[in-house]
Structure 1
Amino acid sequence: MFLTENIIIDLLGIFVALLLTFVVNHIWTLGYWKRRGVSGPEGIFLFGSMKDFFLSKKTMADFLKDLYNEYKSKGERYIGCYLSGRPIFVPIDLDVIKEVLVTHDNFDSHGFYYNENQPLTINVFTLAGTRWKEVRTKLTPSFTPGKIKMAYNSLLDCKLDLKVLLDKASKNNPVNIKDILVRFTIDVIGSSAFGLDIGSMKDSDEPSDFVINGNKVIEPSIENSVRFIIPFIVNHNILRAFNFTAFNQHINDFYVNTTLSTIKYREENNIVRNDFMNLLIQMKNSKNEHERLSISEIVGQSFVFYIAGFETSSTSTNFAIFELSQHQDIQDKLRQEINLVMNKYENQLTYEAVQEMVYLDQVVYESLRMHPPSPFLMRQCNKDYKVTGTDLTIQKGTLVFIPSYAIQYDPEYYPNPYKFEPERFNAENKKAIPSYSWLPFGEGPRICLGMRFGIQQMKIALITLIQHFKFSLNKRTTLPLKMSRLPFLMKTEHGIYIDLEVINSEDQTREHKNKNE
């Protein structure tokens, strides 16, 4: 049965054989792109092309941006690199990016792990292929402008608490604005996704369970790193066979039980609200099987809607405030627009009033250009695809990293890209911006379903702040901003601190009259 009479020697021999197999295979893989005639950086054993990222010398945003700039200057339309030993295709040319995101259905997966036995993974972000299309088709009608308008009241309810919290914070300058925005975001999404009054802005001393568990999902930790990395190096079918869990049991139980108890309470008490949870419950009870959602699908979608908004919405708003705090002229111009529109609507922040704030729209778009939620978009090829006009075939299973952050700082598309200039997105200038060069939420069939709601949430927070406060950057803020090493998120490692100055209503009225005279 054994090779020798000594079991220890046999096991050592097996280990050495497996190790050599791994090493040889790994080295062979690091020559993948060179054998296919694709330019790109050399791969290094274990690190692949991303040594500086793994050693925390560069963020993923900076790594991809440097790569993009280097090879675009050489006239390359795409390049190949390696995530450890896994080949990654990186398109540079916007036409190639369009092919990946929109033109063909060969890339209808993000490449993330999902398991039908684990409800948190059953959502439109992680699912792939036919399974994704089924759920996406069912959910899309819930995110139309009309449905977003229906859920608008939940935003207004939270706006009142945000104003109170800002008033309180302004008495203790400087203010770490991200802390306040996280509480606002949690209350908004908690209300919309789970139908719950979390009240984190009302009780500012003790973090809610939603805050605690939300942080546990995204915080850098050994456990999270292992759960994140394994699906990128092990076949997903093998992981499903061993029932690999993407989240620990405590997190799973919290979100599953919270969703199930909310559904049960609403149905037993005939509670109907204009929010997304109500729409999900309606689909659960639909008699049309093409519209019906399972309990697992509701849990998964509620979870991803909450987690996606929990960090990205608060961080995106945080960056917009960072830019406005350094550009008082832009802040003043935006405040003037907000006051003019609010005066027209008798100081009622209606859905229609927000849509009329054109300059606010430009500010949000420019902030998202400079500070997208993620530094890149990820797709996975689900069947072999030949890139138009080339001899290159992207093979099934290949990961694609679209360097959206790098593209949005490309001076060819955005002259003087490090300047915060909302006018880039006015009606005239916007025409000159090439398609697929602004990608904070993706594009094509996989574009973020919650994009409209996320932008609306940003706008409500900015309106509340700007209408009632003047603010400037406090010297406690570390400049230049030091960015987190998390690969998929654009966030600062340290706080953004601002000084708040209350604007009383008499000053606003006087300022409004002077500008109209």
Structure 2
Amino acid sequence: MDLLHRALITALGALSLVYALVKISLGYWKRRGILHEKPKLFWGNIKGVVGGKRHMQDALQFIYTEYKGRAPFVGFFACIKPFVLVLDLKLVRHILVTHAGHFTTRGLYSNDSSEPLSGNLLQLDGHKWRALHAQSLGVFSPANINKLLPRLVQISRGFQSCLGKDRLQTLNINELVDSYNVDVVASMAFGLSVDHTDFRRFTQSYWDNFSLWRAYLALEFPLLARLLKYKSYAKAATGYFQKVVLSQLQEQRKRDRQPLQTFLQLYSNMDQPLDDVQIAAQAFGFVLAGLVPLNATLSFCLYELARQPELQDRVRAEIRKTLEQRSGQLTAEGLKELLYTKQVLNETLRLHTPYPFLLRRATKEFELPGSVFVIARGNNVLIPTAAIHRDSAIYEEPLRFDPNRFDAEAKLARPEMSFLPYGDGLRGCIAAQFVEQELLVGLVALLQNHRYSPCAKTVIPLEYDNSRLVLTPKTDIHLSVERVDN
């Protein structure tokens, strides 16, 4: 009985300590005198997000709408972790561009000693990121991206032929665009040129051991997570990706004067090349940061064009005209001429922003010029890109799909930092030019000879998958696909 009594006292003491620590953490913004939404115990301001009842985008949108104009930023809690939620576009520019040196880290978890593929540009911070970023700038130069374009076009033509010659069919659009993007990443980031079945399987399973709570604890207590050798990804998948890259690099070195077709070649030919495992980590970065948002963007784009056939016909006409003027060849100059197609792509990225926020961490104290507002060293910062993209003060009728928002005159009329699908500044997407090319080339292949329209299996209105951080459809998008010859 005495033992049971002691156990109960110990348990109550532990619970009291946890409760006190939670209350202290949730009182952070109040103690600093910063405007904030009152947090819920344990959930902070994201109640319903963890359980999948609402998307993170919705939680951020609510705070952004409620407090915009009252302060340049407000306090926000993701569970018990305090964040700065930015509301003012001038402050966004300070963080991303003007004073980017104060915000060079993201605060994501990585442990490249026990999980080598986590040593990629997305996850690394500090001096490791700075050194890798400086080395990688040359890899992603505009000249190199344009040199890789013929290979990208070649892949798209193979993908286009897979659409088949059926006059009319109903297709799962998510699976369709995934086949294209997987082929691009497998070929151009990993150097694979044969069947991609295993590669596709592992791109869908590398998150198999993911636990939201374990990931959250790794972010909160990174030193402990590294001590315990916490791994973010399934070991079988990362082992496969690393093995593929190491094998491809060995094969690559046996061949002389091969044409430039892959990022592996660019990374291994740098003046100060990375070691092979580091190159494998950068290849994995294409899977980690690219596949899901690229698939979602192309799927959303076809969904919107299927619902507005007049816009779709205009895009198809522009694509055909551009190809006809260049003897059927798609070049870098030809891509620049796809002005309306790019407007459609940008409007898709605005309305269905893949990443609902940008994440930064202050490495130095930052005082907003001309104000009393201070972002303290160590503060985590959220820039709610999706909420900015749906701000009715910036975009009239923001839930309406309208590519004309991105014609030259309309863009000039909007304030800076009002469109951030690839981020901006030092930690913006280093591969943004390649990503845009991949999406545009994909749209050319999809739309040149095929028309898309809703079918009986099309879910309207579209719903998002609340269980995923990246904005993706809740159910696969099915559309009727009709072949339309020239």
Aligned partner (choices 204, 215, 220) of residue 204 of structure 2: 215
CA–CA distance in structure 2, aligned partners of residues 300 and 13 of structure 1: 48
- The answer as to whether partners of 1:377 and 1:401 remain within 8 angstroms in 2 is yes
Secondary structure (helix, strand or coil) at the match of 1:368 reads helix
Distance 1:447 1:198, change over 3 A: farther
Offset from partner CA, 1:154-176 (integer Å, 9 cap, x none): 212211221122125x5662211
Aligned to 1:229: 216
Distance 1:412 1:185, change over 3 A: same
Aligned to 1:147: 144
Aligned to 2:294: 313
Aligned to 1:259: 245
- The answer as to whether partners of 1:187 and 1:198 remain within 8 angstroms in 2 is no
Aligned partner (choices 22, 33, 36) of residue 40 of structure 1: 36
Aligned partner (choices 221, 230, 234) of residue 248 of structure 1: 234
Greater Cα shift, 493-502 or 53-62: 53-62
1:157 aligns with 2:138: no
Alpha-carbon RMSD across the aligned residues, in angstroms, is 2.1
Offset from partner CA, 1:57-90 (integer Å, 9 cap, x none): 3111111112111112x63321111111110110
- The answer as to whether partners of 1:193 and 1:277 remain within 8 angstroms in 2 is yes
CA–CA distance in structure 1, aligned partners of residues 229 and 321 of structure 2: 57
Aligned partner (choices 284, 291, 295) of residue 303 of structure 1: 284
- The answer as to whether partners of 2:168 and 2:483 remain within 8 angstroms in 1 is no
CA–CA distance in structure 2, aligned partners of residues 394 and 19 of structure 1: 32
Give unpaired runs (5+ residues) of structure 1: 201-207, 509-517
Cα displacement (A) at 1:181 = 0.5
What's the TM-score once normalised by structure 1's chain length? 0.89
CA–CA distance in structure 2, aligned partners of residues 342 and 253 of structure 1: 42
Aligned to 2:81: 86
Cα displacement (A) at 1:126 = 0.8
CA–CA distance in structure 2, aligned partners of residues 103 and 10 of structure 1: 58
CA–CA distance in structure 2, aligned partners of residues 392 and 76 of structure 1: 9
Greater Cα shift, 17-26 or 366-375: 17-26
Query: How many correspondences in the alignment?
Result: 483
Aligned to 1:24: 20
Secondary structure (helix, strand or coil) at the match of 1:245 reads coil
Residues 19-418 of structure 1: matches in 2 within 5 Å? Answer: 19-72=15-68, 75-104=70-99, 105-117=101-113, 118-167=115-164, 170=166, 173-200=169-196, 208-218=197-207, 223-234=210-221, 236-270=222-256, 272-274=258-260, 275-283=262-270, 286=271, 291-418=272-399
Cα displacement (A) at 1:11 = 5.8
CA–CA distance in structure 2, aligned partners of residues 424 and 377 of structure 1: 23
Secondary structure (helix, strand or coil) at the match of 2:48 reads helix
- The answer as to whether partners of 1:53 and 1:59 remain within 8 angstroms in 2 is yes
For 2:71, give the aligned amino acid: E
Distance 1:227 1:303, change over 3 A: farther
Aligned to 1:485: 466
Distance 1:137 1:486, change over 3 A: farther
CA–CA distance in structure 2, aligned partners of residues 193 and 32 of structure 1: 43
Runs of 4+ in 1 over 4 A off after TM superposition: 5-15
Distance 1:217 1:229, change over 3 A: farther
- The answer as to whether partners of 1:227 and 1:247 remain within 8 angstroms in 2 is no
Distance 1:11 1:296, change over 3 A: farther
For 1:257, give the aligned amino acid: K
Offset from partner CA, 1:38-67 (integer Å, 9 cap, x none): 222211111111112223331111111121
Query: As a proportion of its length, which structure holds more helix?
Result: 1
Secondary structure (helix, strand or coil) at the match of 2:49 reads helix
Distance 1:386 1:296, change over 3 A: farther
Give unpaired runs (5+ residues) of structure 2: none
Secondary structure (helix, strand or coil) at the match of 1:52 reads coil
CA–CA distance in structure 1, aligned partners of residues 290 and 64 of structure 2: 28
For 1:127, give the aligned amino acid: L
What's the TM-score once normalised by structure 2's chain length? 0.94
Distance 1:475 1:75, change over 3 A: farther
